[in-house]
Amino acid sequence: MKKFLLKLSPLFAAVFLFFACSNNVEKTNGGWETINDILKNIKQPTFADNEYNILDFGAKLDSTFNSKPAIQLAIDKCSENGGGTVLIPSGIYFSAGSIFLKSNVNLHLQDGAIINFSTSSKDYLPVVLSRWEGIECYNYSALIYAKDQENIAITGNGIFNGKASAENWWPWKGKTEYGFVKGMPSQLDSMGRPRLLKMNLEQTPAEERIFGEGFYLRPNFFQTINCKNILIEGVTFKDSPMWFLHPILSENITIRGVTVIGNGPNNDGCDPESCKNVLIENCNFNTGDDCIAIKSGRNNDGRRINVPSENFIIRNCKMKDGHGGVVIGSEISGGCKNIFAENCEMDSPNLDRAIRIKTNAIRGGTIENIYARNISVGEVKEAILKINLNYEPDEIGERNFPPTVKNIFIENVTSKKSEYAFYLDGLEESKINNVQIVNSKLDGVNNGNVLNNIENFKTNDVYINEKLFKN
């Protein structure tokens, strides 16, 4: 190169170097070197050899007998005695209310073990501290709940079934497609908004946000608050009232080989919120909302608590139905950084997008250092990559918090069918910055791209409908 340039006039050489550099997309794999450091920090729980069989504590192999007290007693005794495994033998059990996990306990389901949960809301009282769509409150307990615990696990090959349907929890959403009929109570106030949202806007103290019976805010399936060293492995979760797996303010989380099935309203598969050091691998999602959605609090609550979600590795997962495969937002006011997704398969006419970032100038948040590679998409309904900084434009609130979205690196993505390849919609006052896409082949794209308010958008070796894409 140097010998060649010496033969050129100085002016021509300068022009040549300018164009050579401007067309060169930066290497996108530099950040991937950090995933080993993240993995080193994810400490899985270990347990004593003690075993506590729930049948010894009064549980019965009876789909109508309430085994919740026996399960809880076994968990409590196990934790008090230094920890170990609480064994759920093969068979069908019924739990009329929440199971509360305790430190140093592995709740293990043998092959063929099924726990069906009550659909009576009163069974999930008294209220506990929770987050509901990114807002703190006291509400019904999650079906499985833990607060201020460490070294906890749910393992095995059994099934947790929330039994939610259009006949119980789901009509509370307030939509007819989920069983709601005009005149029924729902989560909405007289203005058609969730009641809790007003308290967030007015910054009502969290301890005064008492919900539960009569307010119709559906609980999540699994929720931890301020916990660490968490393992969920092998089990299946079915038909949740709302979100499925929802760790909050927790760290060192491994979710491995889990199956999530539920097509109800807000049936997100896995929504870690304000969490750190998270590994999600070898999981299967078939959901009524986002398969994986990373969150960090909504609006004033997210900014007040101000804990981002960071250091996530998502790999070898399969996504079918859902609003998005790997999603960041929309409750993302606390920010998000260092997210890595690789070797995932996404394919369904009922999966809207493959990779998605969503926020607005009310929710704000800084979202940065997002990496995805080796993503195989069969079919999605809308876009392969969607970044929307004007999500829910009719949301009520002061638009004084323009989000920052930067450093998005995508490589080796293939797809067979979608409406758009890239749908990137930034804001005039807050442009999407530094998106790099390389070595990707996107076929069956019906409507090209939407590219608004973007800076530093670069592609290299990207083909759309077999034609080289030049931005």
Q: Count other Cβ atoms within 10 Å, centred on residue 90.
A: 13
pLDDT of residue 29: 55
Q: Are residues 197 and 91 part of one domain? A: yes
User: 35-52: per-residue pLDDT in tens?
Assistant: 999 999 998 999 999 999
Domain that holds residue 367: 290-471
Sort strands 467-468 and 454-464 into parallel, antiparallel or unpaired.
antiparallel
Sort strands 292-294 and 105-109 into parallel, antiparallel or unpaired.
unpaired
| Average pLDDT over the chain, rounded to an integer | 93
Q: Are residues 203 and 75 part of one domain? A: yes
239, 268, 271, 289: the active-site residue: 289
371 occurs within a structural domain: yes
- Local confidence band at 2 (pLDDT 50, 70, 90 cut-offs): very low
Does residue 11 register a pLDDT over 70?
no
Q: Are residues 212 and 318 part of one domain? A: no
Could you give the CA distance from residue 247 to residue 296 in angstroms, rounded to a whole number?
Answer: 11
- Residues 344 and 376 sit within 8 Å (Cβ to Cβ): yes
32 occurs within a structural domain: no
323 is catalytic: yes
Please tell me whether the overall predicted TM-score, pTM, comes out greater than 0.75 for this model.
yes
77 occurs within a structural domain: yes
User: 142-180: per-residue pLDDT in tens?
Assistant: 999 999 999 999 999 999 999 999 999 999 999 999 999
**Of 202, 223, 244, which residue is a domain's last?**
223
Q: Are residues 178 and 59 part of one domain? A: yes
Does residue 329 register a pLDDT over 60?
yes
pLDDT of residue 324: 98
271, 323, 347, 352: the active-site residue: 323
Could you give the CA distance from residue 389 to residue 430 in angstroms, rounded to a whole number?
Answer: 8
Could you give the CA distance from residue 322 to residue 288 in angstroms, rounded to a whole number?
Answer: 5
267 occurs within a structural domain: no
Q: Are residues 307 and 159 part of one domain? A: no
| Most distant pair of Cα atoms in the chain: their distance | 90
214 occurs within a structural domain: yes
**Of 180, 196, 223, which residue is a domain's last?**
223
Q: What is the CATH number of the domain that holds 208?
A: 2.160.20.10
Q: Are residues 208 and 294 part of one domain? A: no
24 occurs within a structural domain: no
Q: Are residues 187 and 62 part of one domain? A: yes
Q: Are residues 384 and 466 part of one domain? A: yes
Both tokens assigned to 314? 């998502």
Lowest pLDDT segment from 9-23, 115-129, 130-144, 373-387: 9-23
**Of 223, 254, 275, which residue is a domain's last?**
223
Q: Count other Cβ atoms within 10 Å, centred on residue 326.
A: 26
Q: Are residues 454 and 322 part of one domain? A: yes
Domain count, the chain: 2
27 occurs within a structural domain: no
Does residue 316 register a pLDDT over 70?
yes
123 is catalytic: no
- Local confidence band at 190 (pLDDT 50, 70, 90 cut-offs): confident
Q: Are residues 168 and 305 part of one domain? A: no
187 occurs within a structural domain: yes
More confident residue, 29 or 7: 29
User: 375-420: per-residue pLDDT in tens?
Assistant: 999 999 999 999 999 999 999 899 999 999 999 999 999 999 999 9
Lowest pLDDT segment from 193-207, 254-268, 275-289, 424-438: 193-207
User: 50-83: per-residue pLDDT in tens?
Assistant: 999 999 999 999 999 999 999 999 999 999 999 9
SS (H, E, C) the chain: CHHHHHCCCHHHHHHHHHHHHHCCCCCCCHHHHHHHHHHHHCCCCCCCCCEEEHHHHCCCCCCCCECHHHHHHHHHHHHHCCCEEEEECCEEEEECCCEECCCCEEEEECCCEEEEECCCHHHHCCCEEEEECCEEEEECCCCEEEECCEEEEEEECCEEECCCCCCCCHHHHCCHHHCCCCCCCCCECCCCCEHHHHHHHCCCCHHHCECCCCCCCCCCCEEEECCEEEEEECCEEECCCCCCEEEECCEEEEEECCEEEECCCCCCCECCECCEEEEEECCEEEECCCCEEEECECHHHHHHHCCCEEEEEEECCEECCEEEEEEECCCECCCEEEEEEEEEEECCCCEEEEEEEECCCCCCCEEEEEEEEEEEEEECCCEEEEEECCCCCCCCCCCCCCCEEEEEEEEEEEEEEECEEEEEECECCECEEEEEEEEEEECCECCCCEEECEEEEEEEEEEECCEECCC
Could you give the CA distance from residue 436 to residue 471 in angstroms, rounded to a whole number?
Answer: 11
